Amino acid sequence: MRPFLASSILTLYSISLGQEPEDTSKTYHQPAVVITASRLEERLHEVGRSVSVISARQLGVSITNSIGDALSQQQGLYVVGAGQNYGMLQSFFLRGAGNNQTAILLDGVRVTDPSTVNNAVDGSELSLAGIERIEIVRGSHSTFFGSSAIGGVVNLISQSPRRAGLDATVSLNGGFFGAGTSLLSQGLSLAMMQESGLFAVAEVRHMGTRGLDATVDTVTNPAAFKRRDRDDFRKTDIMAKAGYRSDNWEVYGAFRQGVQYADIDREAFVDDDNYTLSFGRQSMTLSSSLEFTDDLKVRYIGGYSTMKRDAENDSSVVKTTGETDQLVTEDNYKGSTATHEVQLDFDAGSLSGIVGLGLYRETMTARNRLYFGGFEKIDDVDSLKPSSATLSFFAHTTARGAAIAPTLQPFTLGLGVRVLRHDLFGSAFTFDINPTVKVLEGGMFFAVYSKGFNAPSLYQLFSPEMHYLSTIARGNKTLKAEQSRSLELGVKYFAEGFDFSVSAFQVHTDDAIEFVYLWDKAVGLDTLGNDWMRDDNRGNTYLNMGKQITRGFEFSMNATLLENLSVSANLSLVSGTMTYSPDNIDVSKTQGHHVQLYSNGAFLNKTVEAAGLVRRPHTASFTIRYQPVVEWLLELGIRSVGGRNDVYYDAQLGPYGALGKTDVEGYTIVDLSQRVDMSDRFALRLKVENMFDTRYSEIRGFTTRGRGVFVGLQYDIR
């Protein structure tokens, strides 16, 4: 693996909405409040876990065009798609977990997309509109937040006004990120709070881009017909939030709507001039908390979300005469999620914690139409009414050693459990053990041993496609949840002008869900597919097959070197293996047929081990910040990504082909950002992204953005 440089968490400072300018030449170490780590309000330096917080100041100083831009600098988190054409799929890989094994939350409500194959969220649909901060908690958190939290949790926290009055911000950003490209975005936000406690927040953002050709062109024959086009993107996000706050009660309701349209390429190396993808999501959240006493509080959080995705490919032109391939495909997906949770918070001094109940529901529908040369085929899953419901009980308590003896004051012990019932795969149990020991002034040793799970998606459970001979359906209603066991050991230290954290972890994930081909058991493996007049295939399906072991090391540091000079750095190393055993085959589902893994083409007539994680590299970052005067902040950031494996369809792997692995080289990106406060209301921002126009790949066959130059204007009205 190539050596790589270190590059950084951007610890950025800017003027927050409705606040007076601050002297940002100083590094402020006022501990942030973190509520994701234990579902309670805690100071960052007191949390015995690996946690990062991206504040509003950090988001405000640089021009941040997507969630991927904001998260790609964070330790342990690799965002595939963050550097590609705007509108491309963004996938989150946290601590070596799969992109569907990281829980994404909005104000504590889980955000999923049950209309997709594996229920993973596309990061390009997430919006920064109305977001006050982002909390990232690494490590298994299923005990606190349920399914998907094997790699960790990313929680987007919406803005709430902090002072009485009316504030507004108008923003305009523009720039380019390659030859012939352009980006223009506009935003308007409002925040109001009355002395009575009534408050409201609203924001609208729109972004439009003229993009790159999203795929790599490998056709070198000048006589070959090519109709390559640019891939553009439009996105509009609206949020509104209103509520009431008093000394012991807070209630609010929030609404979000995001609509986006992308003219993109859907396959590596293949330009598609007529493929478009549109997506829309509407979500509503209701939250209420009532404080009975200083030691007792009850909370309710509820959310409902609907999503719709439409993909269309309409007869691409294949000859100069205008002839088309006569292929038309239309894919329409819909989904919905509903969340209801009630939580009781208590604090008895030496013992504090939470007790709660939750109900989570998902639904999906899908319709696929294919038309080719007069032949039409339509598939849908509506008649199956795909849905699932999960009922959970969760509890967590933190015991402080001082309650037992004064000499044990540095010690605390966190214990948590979650018991759940899924109406399809049955029951699951997770736990969490989290001892911490405070050392010196500001130091802490911590350990976390926890169990997590990830429920199968509705598509994996219900997909109706069936083989005509075996009658084996692709969906598998007997799938179990993926189960993980993780151990983390770490140390943290906070002091004025300096802090660091170091952690090492290991995660065992069992019952990993794999897509497999099935082949006729009466035909030997060495002769499969040799007779073109014989159909040896017996369908495909999903099975609980794999076991993954992931190991890693993480380091982060922030330091003030001089009054106006500071640095930040982080480093993440991760490695892993996958093991597949024929003993894990569900023979009742496969009917005893040969099983071939689509992920690597191997037939499971013996134990198979695959080393190396796909699209989960070592990462590092480094940032230096210089602020010669209060009104001017400069930042130079370097981000390095190590070499890694990627996958591609290899027709040589078995009769139908499967996914082969290929090496993708590492890369280093250098960015320069600055913010100039022209007055206490007007700010100018400049960002040079990928300064040296580095050519690199995140996914084999897809292009990435070149040197980008962006200018932003922000005006605050108070």
**CA-closest candidate to residue 424, choices 362, 501, 490:** 362
Helix (H, G, I), strand (E, B) or coil at 650: strand
Pairing of strands 102-106, 387-400: unpaired
Tokens 């969490």 correspond to what residue? Answer: 432
Tokens 């999203």 correspond to what residue? Answer: 214
Lowest mean pLDDT across 67-76, 482-491, 589-598: 67-76
Name the pLDDT band for 266 (thresholds 50, 70, 90).
confident
**CA-closest candidate to residue 116, choices 305, 282, 259, 309:** 309
- Six token digits for residue 40: 């309670």
Say if residue 5's pLDDT is above 50. no
Tokens 């995705």 correspond to what residue? Answer: 309
Say if residue 28's pLDDT is above 70. no
Q: Compute φ and ψ for 657, nearest 5 degrees.
A: 80, 170
Identity of the residue numbered 117: V
> Whole-angstrom Cα distance, residue 271 to residue 317?
11
Lowest mean pLDDT across 196-200, 329-333, 414-418, 686-690: 329-333
**Residues 210-260: tens digit of each pLDDT:** 999 999 988 777 777 777 788 999 999 999 999 999 999 999 999 999 999
| Cα dihedral 545, 660, 591, 527 sign | negative
Three-state secondary structure of 110-176: ECCCCCCCCCCCCHHHCCCCCEEEEEEEECCCHHHHCCCCCCEEEEEEECCCCCCEEEEEEEEEEEE
Type and span of the H or E element at 355: strand 351-372
**CA-closest candidate to residue 427, choices 398, 455, 462, 458:** 455
> Whole-angstrom Cα distance, residue 486 to residue 503?
13
Burial class (CB in 10 A: 0-12, 13-18, 19+), 319: exposed
More confident residue, 25 or 475: 475
More confident residue, 379 or 188: 188
- Six token digits for residue 592: 């005893």
Say if residue 22's pLDDT is above 50. no
Specify the pLDDT at position 602: 94
Percent of the chain residues topping a pLDDT of 70: 95
> Whole-angstrom Cα distance, residue 705 to residue 710?
13
Helix (H, G, I), strand (E, B) or coil at 86: coil
**Residues 117-159: tens digit of each pLDDT:** 999 999 999 999 999 999 999 999 899 999 999 999 999 999 9
**Residues 36-95: tens digit of each pLDDT:** 788 888 888 889 999 999 887 777 777 889 999 999 989 999 999 999 999 999 999 999
> Whole-angstrom Cα distance, residue 386 to residue 474?
14
- Six token digits for residue 106: 């909005």
Question: How many angstroms separate the Cα of 364 from the Cα of each of 117, 336, 361, 385, 666?
Answer: 11, 7, 11, 8, 38
Domain boundaries, the chain: 33-717
> Whole-angstrom Cα distance, residue 28 to residue 9?
16
**Residue 68 carries which DSSP code?**
H
Residue pair 448/454 in contact by the 8 Å Cβ criterion: no
Helix (H, G, I), strand (E, B) or coil at 269: coil
Q: What CATH architecture is 33-717?
A: Beta Barrel (2.40)
Sheet strands (E) in 315-350: 327-347
Residue pair 23/630 in contact by the 8 Å Cβ criterion: yes
**CA-closest candidate to residue 477, choices 496, 464, 492:** 464
- What value does the mean pLDDT of the chain take? 89
Q: How many CB atoms lie within 10 A of CB 163?
A: 10
Q: Compute φ and ψ for 531, nearest 5 degrees.
A: -105, 110
Residue pair 489/444 in contact by the 8 Å Cβ criterion: no
- Six token digits for residue 368: 């696929």
> Whole-angstrom Cα distance, residue 595 to residue 603?
6
Rg (CA), the chain: 26
Average pLDDT over residues 268-285: 89
Name the pLDDT band for 318 (thresholds 50, 70, 90).
low
Note the pTM of the prediction, 2 decimals.
0.91
Specify the pLDDT at position 55: 84
**Residues 319-354: tens digit of each pLDDT:** 677 777 778 889 999 999 999 999 999 998 889 999
Contacts of 359 (CB under 8 A, 6+ apart): 338, 339, 340, 341, 389, 390, 391, 392
Identity of the residue numbered 205: R
Specify the pLDDT at position 381: 79
Say if residue 31's pLDDT is above 70. no
Name the pLDDT band for 524 (thresholds 50, 70, 90).
very high
